[in-house]
Amino acid sequence: MQRYSAEQLATYLKTHRPQLIDVREPWEFEICHIMGSELIPMGQIPTQLERFLQPGEYVIICHHGIRSMQVINFLHHHHIQNTINLDGGVDAWAREIDYNMSVY
């Protein structure tokens, strides 16, 4: 499993186009999210497994990196390995990369 800090991910996104999957709840996503990310709440991941079988990489994002790690562990259990966890989640992104992003 790959784990990137906010700074590492920002650098990676300059040359790569992984899909950004935010696993927080809709109300959290409304407060703030990384531009280009798609919301799939954690509870809906089991019904979305097939989408993760598509070629490409998936950056899994949550508030602090805990739920995203749980989602990645679930995906790995189902033999889906093409994932990256954003350590520190959107909170780290807001504090280190996008200073205009709301925090909660």
pLDDT surpasses 90 at 85: yes
pLDDT at 1 over 90: no
- Count the residues in the chain: 104
Mean pLDDT on 76-99 = 97
Contact 15, 4 (CB under 8 A): no
Q: What is the pLDDT of residues 31-69, one digit of tens each?
A: 999 999 999 999 999 999 999 999 999 999 999 999 999
> Does the residue 22 lie in any domain?
yes
Assign residue 50 the CATH number of its domain: 3.40.250.10
What does the mean pLDDT of the chain come to? 97
The pTM score is 0.96
CA 54/CA 43 separation, integer angstroms: 20
Mean per-residue pLDDT, 61-90: 97
Q: Which of 32, 40, 60, 62 is catalytic?
A: 62
Establish if 20 belongs to a structural domain.
yes
Is 34 contained in some domain? Answer: yes
> Is position 62 annotated as part of the catalytic site?
yes
